[in-house]
Structure 1
């Protein structure tokens, strides 16, 4: 939208897409229907996604947009874009099945669109599905993914197949819209549906998390009992558990992130009962002054109960796992074949 005299300063923070979304929200169903009916599915999804995250739009912005679109509006309250107002708006414009598809795409759970959702699928799972597809189809999909995720998927494909995909990507010019829509529908009906059906969690993973939360004596007693009654299950649970000792295998950069985000009192308690090598690993992630202060704190504590140290160590493990799930650290060396990347 072009800048004009009288443009409110608040308008500057709205992109072109957000301005269009605010305008359509202001027009409502009655006046907006002719516009919505002229849009394609991709455009509707894009605008709907923008409306659903629009939040509060100041009255001066709404008035200016409507004035530019039709005529001066002098009395209009602020609008509030949300998932609910988006859905109500679309229900008066589109067929119910189209509304459901569009709202499913923009609502999540792990992404606003099909391509956002696909970027949340691990490269191994996605590559396992794509290696049986036509190289041209794979080329179209990789071009729609974020570059870093596409690179990991490409590296996970068989080498010859991956090379063929790269050749297709180099030769591909503008992909026709109907081809992208067809690929998107196939991914939605086949891959994503099958993925959700197969994503039932391994009970051993659940038990590993439960055991991680136990105090050490209870954990050892339970695993010992399992060793006698179900040794294979016990071994598998041990392999899935992430313990305080496993922090010693993290990259120095990951330890630095943990140090920045942890409670320093708990860190001192955790290190008080840790092996010397673990202490040096954490001290090495601090400045010389911070490490000295940490040693002084540990000394001034005097004797502490073992269970207090274990509880603090457990909290550090929980923090590390939370940071891993948010993508701020990797819970292993990425070059390792056994890397656990969260």
Structure 2
């Protein structure tokens, strides 16, 4: 009586797969994890001849039913054949190297991350001329924050209609999605790539917003005299602390809702009465009384650098909210009205 073979669990599994034959084994291989497939391959390469008695014992251990067959010969070669006919060469190489198989892209990259990086006004202008159902479908594909910013650039009635359709929207057919994506690439992203100078305008405006009012006005005059292109786009993104009264009451409330009383108090030291009132009228009564009490004590001993830094913080917060689509800066509003 021969001594039964001593096999590892991986070798037993490989033996059973080979015994099942290529069609059945190929279907099962799809359910194995990458590390399990690697173990099977390595185990099969160590197998040679498995007597029928040992095969039956292995099958019994797994408590499965197999049809009667002959003993196994050249298990490694048969396992290689099954793998090669079940998986691509790249998948086999990836399994044996311990790397994930590289999936070839099935088409152009997704456009939605690119759309989310556009300025809200840019995408909002496009959606304003589209059917509400199309706009609802596009916004439903964006992340909540950029989608909300785009919505705020639209007219109230149009905004409500789009939201109503988004609430009742079901699964979007793939064919419809591809058509919309194609149009967005051709009419929004392509035009943006060829004509949009927004990034440069934002960079220049960010530098100019660090200057005080006098320096800013002088620099803008120099840029205009030099015939700098796209200067209107830069001007629309410029905002100074002294421009606060030009904002709407709603916009000012949004700005100061996110700022501490300490920053507001420091920024208002030495400000004109009109500017001070514009700010104080945009905050709660309790905060207003506290700030007025602090300002009543005078600004002696308060470093001018601290005051200017607080004013820049207020201006920066205003620019950030405008960029997110919460409202338009005064210069942008003037440009839109002129157009």
TM-score by length of 1: 0.49
TM-score by length of 2: 0.49
Q: Which has the higher contact order (CA 8 A, sep 6+)?
A: 2
Q: Between Structure 1 and Structure 2, whose CA radius of gyration is higher?
A: 2
